[in-house]
Amino acid sequence: MTQSRYDKGWETLGNINSEAGERILNMLKDISPDMAKLVIEFPYGDIWSRKGLDIKTRELITIASLTTLGFPKDQLKAHTHNALNAGCSKEEIIEVVMQMSVYAGFPAALNAMFVVKEVLESRGLLENS
């Protein structure tokens, strides 16, 4: 029996941050449960579960993409946690954000770096935290 897109998405998301998935579902249940379902099915059930890239690489790519957008603080925070959960080092995450300064500019990279700093501090991964 084949796994549903939703179940496959939950399995994939559960491997990196099931708490974030629960939070998204709870935030959307009153306004758009269909959107919550799509967030689980499409990105995690259809794309993230593909075999072409490992989860660690997908998280670094996602951090790069969110950095270039310049404003998605909540999503960048969640994916920074996810990246750490997937085995990315703080140095790898920081280097990705720094590289994006070339393509997205310093304001976007600085915004992202401050989000990354917040996550790293919350997890006790900075020397001054």
pLDDT (tens, 9 = 90+) of the chain, 129 residues, equals 788 999 999 999 999 998 888 988 999 999 999 999 999 999 999 999 999 999 999 999 999 999 999 999 999 999 999 999 999 999 999 999 999 999 999 999 999 999 999 999 999 999 865
pLDDT value, residue 129: 55
Report pLDDT for 20.
84
Burial class (CB in 10 A: 0-12, 13-18, 19+), 33: exposed
Predicted local distance difference test score (pLDDT) of residue 90: 98
pLDDT at 11: 94
Query: What's the topology of domain 53-129?
Result: AhpD-like (1.20.1290)
Q: What is the per-residue DSSP string for 47-88? A: ITTSSSS-HHHHHHHHHHHHHHHS--HHHHHHHHHHHHHTT-
State the DSSP H helix or E strand holding residue 13, giving kind and residue range, or none if neither: helix 5-28
For the chain, give every residue range classified as CATH 1.20.1290.10. 1-52, 53-129
pTM reported for the whole predicted model: 0.91
Pick the CATH number of 1-52 from 3.30.565.10, 2.40.30.110, 2.60.120.560, 1.20.1290.10: 1.20.1290.10
* C-alpha span between 126 and 116 (Å, rounded): 11
